[in-house]
Structure 1
Amino acid sequence: MRFSAATTAGRFLPQRLALRMGPLLGRIDAVLFTADERGEAGRMSLIAFAIRIVSAVIAFISQVLMARWMGSFEYGIFVLVWVTMVIVGNLACLGFHTSVIRFIPEYRERNMLAELRGIVVASRLFVLIASTAIAGLGALGVWLCADWIESYYVIPFILGLFCLPMIAMGDLLQGQSRANSWALFALSPTYLVRPVLILALMALMLAMGYAPDARTAIFASIAATYATTLAQLIGVTSRMVKNIPTGPMKVHFSEWFIVSLPIFLVESFFFLLTNADVLMVGAYLQPNDVAVYFATVKTLALVHFVYFSVKAGVAQRYAQFTHGEPEKLAAFARETVSWTFWPSLLMALLVLLLGEPMLVLFGPEFTAGYPLLFLLVFGVVARAAVGPCESLLTMSGNQNICAAVYAMTLAFNIGLNIVLIPLFGLWGAAIATSLAMVFEASALSFTVWRKLGIVMLIFMPAARGAA
């Protein structure tokens, strides 16, 4: 849902990508267990970077085809429903998909195998039950509020809720894989396999005579999500069985829940902040406008994936360095800022250069979103300039204040959207989003400096401040 371990990675990306996507995929994870710790994080980020590049290409192609097949109106309906399901599915984990990244390495290093077995099993059961309950309540809510919802959204939203348990479980399995440095198991199902399956099933259904509309796309998404998550569950479970010896389990659910709750707030605010603009456009404007805005945001995926790839690779290392190694943590955190900013800046320039012809592929009406890219890119680069600050705060035990920062940023973003979208339409959404990202980056960077004495800002010296 933003990595190169070295500044030269971008120049050798095709070779590295080819290496990782070939028969040697299985060897990469093995390397992760035998390399030095910092190299492990760098390699995981690089693998995540490669997967995100392939994912961005797949996502862009699939969204172009979806838009072409369905037209902007039906595509806009599908986009709003799918984005909502991905957000709510992530939130349905209630923070466990991130807290396991903190607990699993700790239990493994301290040889607390009973607790390790406990959190693996308990987190899965909890997420499955919670997400199923939320899906049921959501379907009931949509049905009861049908008179206040546009008629063309009602059935697609009810159908989309069937995806929730599997989306949530997939996010949890991603967290468990990241905690073990299994980058391929963590990222491939969600970012490579699922979008390809959705596209293939959509094409198959159209060939069978189904209508090219949002409902058909959602049916394809449901089938692809279940197939992907169940396969990921089998794969991750099989690997954990080989690495964790059998024995008794200890469940400290209250302790895990207390830690997960503020992380849930951080993740909630972050996810809502990342997608609030699409949701707000859907609330105020027509599906055609949602389609144009979403296509514009998708074009920015080449910039966003740098940030997320670094975040995927370094969260575990942040957690391990916080145990009595402040100098290593500070040096590593500063390094991750460079990993994030320079590739993001390069990708931003590339997107601005190629943005208009990329949007034309969706359809001629989608070029209306090209001017918005200049505003949106500014916000994304501002976020990249401070690196994955929220991961550092969360993994170092400062998740509460991180949640507060995101709460303020989300309120700021929603307030701006409420004021600006009715006045300026899509321009209002772009202005609100960019300003919110600048505010978020500034607040997080300042909070890291105040709490940890680490300067996470690309052009600032690596001095330590007051903790």
Structure 2
Amino acid sequence: MKLGGKEGSASSASAGAGSIRTLITSRLSRGGGASFLINSVGMGLAMLLQIALARLLGVQDYGIYAFVTTVVTFMVFPAKLGFDTATVKLVSAYRVKGDWPLIKGLLRRSNQIGFTLSVLAALIGIAVVALMDWGRGGQGGSEAHAKTIAYIAGFAAIPLLTLATLRQSALQAMKDALFAQMPEKIIRPVLTIGFVAALGAAGVKLGAAMALLCFAVATAVTYVIGAIVLKKRIGSQTAAVKPNYETRGWLRLSSSLMINAGMYLILGQLNVLMMGFMRGETESGLFSAAVRLAVLVSFMLTAVNMTASPLVSEKYAKGDMAGLQRVCIRTGRIGFAFAAVVFAYFVVLGHWTLGLFGPEFTKAYPSLLILAFGQLFSAYCGQNGTVATMTGRQNALTKVLIAAAFVNAALNALLIPTMGMLGGALASTLSIIVWNSAAVLLVRRKPGVQTLAWAPSLSFARKRGNYS
């Protein structure tokens, strides 16, 4: 009888684990499939946009365009105040409890704060470049004036980019990966390409300023589309409820998450920014093309993360640690397998791919390989940052990211002046290795989750029935 009871218990446990595994796999397949489709098409369109701009604008104007968009990215992140990541974390948890008043209050307050800060950032940026242009007193001619217009056009898009990111996070938390990403990843690049091509066909002289004006108009159109989609998606649940606010608690969380977002931004884009300041916008543009291509290596992990983030928050909120581990294993292995294929492609055909931007861009091939290896390592380490953020370990993660950001900045300052693009690539990859290694150990210690795509320790855990 005891033996039969043990067998029955083991059978029940196995069946339970199997049903949970099937549920997680099906949800990841549905959300991850849509996310993969949108990210694949969006990444292709983004690359097409960059190649078209590089060909149409030339190396110098493309360098200005790439540098301005990088500066704008740095200005958007404090305007969001971390509410983009906080929204994914909190809305996912509130949905489990059915707390729609708090969801409505959070979305309203985050938009109010984001809009105020983004307008302030845009006005400061526009004022600074306008004063610099006025202070030149006509020196530099039309070229300097055109660069000023390019900066102003980029800064004008900051409020819309901020609000669009907050809207995207809300839809991501609602597990609507398709509509969360479609406006920015599909519609915006299509419109930007269309506007630039139409102006070129009409005989308008194209430059960085005109390209950024097209980008700003496309951003405005996609913001309106995204806002309408969000209203239709949650309008029925929030229309009749009175919003509740926990503003102080939200600000504490979002401010902490903003620091993390800033560190991620530094780790991913600081080298492009410093390249522009230290080596000029033209070399920054060449390097930016390599950075944009290298991101393709880990984009599958990013795509699946759109589904995994709310799942991680939900599993942790329910105390389902076994389910949380399964999510990490499946997303990590999918992401790394894809990353290995893309990395191999760049080893063989990276030089040719850079040549699509223009013959001058092939100079960035060695940098591309170094950057791609960093992304491959990041993909192998899996969803460590997401797990830390969604399970309350964001403060510890912040310390890791701050240390890595200091390493990144110091290496950039040391290597870029003498090694140029190669130095920027080395700085980026070394800092990626530092922070990913530390983050893997962080979440392994608490909440006790293994995020590596494959690790020897998992085989022992699997035999005990913990993760399979």
**TM-score category, normalised to shorter length:** 0.7 to 0.9
- Which residue of structure 1 lines up, in the alignment, with residue 13 of structure 2? none
Partner of 1:262: 256
Is 1:188 paired with 2:182? Answer: yes
Report what 2:99 is aligned to: 112
Q: Is 1:441 the equivalent of 2:436?
A: yes
2:374 is the alignment partner of 1:387:
no
Aligned residue type for 1:428: G
Structure 1 unaligned segments of length 5 or more: list them.
1-34
Report if aligned partners of 1:38, 1:317 keep a CA contact under 8 Å in 2.
no
Paired with 2:327 and 2:356, the residues of 1 have a C-alpha distance of 41
* Native 8 Å contact 1:90 1:167 kept in 2: no
Runs of 4+ in 1 over 3 A off after TM superposition: 35-38, 141-155
Shift of 1:400: 0.9
Write the deviation string for residues 101-126 of structure 1: whole angstroms up to 9, x where unpaired.
12212222212222122112222222
- 5+ unaligned residues in a row in structure 2: which ranges? 1-21, 462-468
The alpha-carbon deviation at position 330 of structure 1 amounts to 2.4
1:357 equivalenced with 2:363 (yes/no)? no
Give the match for residue 288 of structure 2. 294
Counterparts in 2 of 1:229 and 1:65: CA distance versus 1, 3 Å: same
Match of 1:416 in 2: 411
In 1, distance between residues paired with 2:115 and 2:198? 30
2:335 to 328, 331, 340: 340
The residue correspondences of 1:67-78 to structure 2 (distance < 5 A) are 67-78=54-65
Per the TM alignment, residue 66 of structure 1 is displaced from its structure 2 partner at its CA by 0.6
Which of these residues, 70, 84, 88, is aligned with residue 101 of structure 1? 88
| Structure 1 residue 139: Cα displacement | 2.2
Do structure 1's residue 231 and structure 2's residue 218 form an aligned pair? no
Within 5 Å, which residues of 2 pair with 1:20-419? 36=23, 38-144=25-131, 151=144, 153-244=147-238, 246-323=240-317, 324-419=319-414
CA distance in 1, matches of 2:151, 2:326: 46
8 Å Cα contact 1:48-1:309 kept in structure 2: yes
Quick check: 2:34–2:177 contact (8 Å CA) kept in 1?
A: yes
Answer with 323-332 or 371-380: which moved more: 323-332
Q: CA separation in 2, counterparts of 1:309 and 1:244?
A: 28
For 1:265 and 1:336, the matched residues in 2 are separated by: 25
Structure 1 position 245, deviation (Å): 5.0
Distance 1:450 1:142, change over 3 A: farther
Q: Which amino acid aligns with 2:54?
A: A
Q: Distance in 1 between matches of 2:451 and 2:296?
A: 23
Q: What is the rounded CA distance, in whole Å, between the counterparts of 2:170 and 2:125 in structure 1?
A: 27
Name which of structure 1's ranges 179-188 and 129-138 shifts more when overlaid on structure 2. 129-138
In 2, Cα distance between equivalents of 1:193 and 1:401: 37
Tell me, in whole angstroms, the C-alpha distance in 2 between the residues paired with 1:409 and 1:314. Answer: 25
Whether the 8 Å CA contact 1:79–1:291 is kept in 2: the answer is yes
Q: 1:143 & 1:400 partners in 2: Cα distance?
A: 39
Distance, in Å, in 1 between the alignment partners of 2:30 and 2:439 is 26
The whole-number CA distance in structure 2 between the counterparts of 1:41 and 1:319 is 14
Whether the 8 Å CA contact 2:129–2:151 is kept in 1: the answer is yes
Decide which structure has greater helix share.
2
Cα separation, partners in 2 of 1:439 and 1:94, compared to 1, 3 Å: same
Q: Which moved more, 1:241-250 or 1:378-387?
A: 241-250
Task: Please name the residue that 2:464 is paired with.
Answer: none
Q: Comparing 328-337 with 341-350, which one deviates more in the overlay?
A: 328-337
Cα drift, residue 447 of structure 1: 1.1
Instruction: Tell me the secondary structure at the aligned position of residue 240 of structure 2.
Output: coil
Change (3 A) 1:349 1:91: farther
Task: Report the TM-score when normalising by structure 2.
Answer: 0.87
Summarize deviations over 1:203-225 as a string: whole Å, max 9, x none: 11222332211000011011000
1:153 Cα offset (Å): 4.3
Q: Specify the structure having the higher radius of gyration (Cα).
A: 2
CA distances 1:146-170 after superposition (whole Å, capped 9, x unpaired): 6699947433222211000010111
Counting matched residue pairs gives: 430
Deviation, 1:52, is 1.5
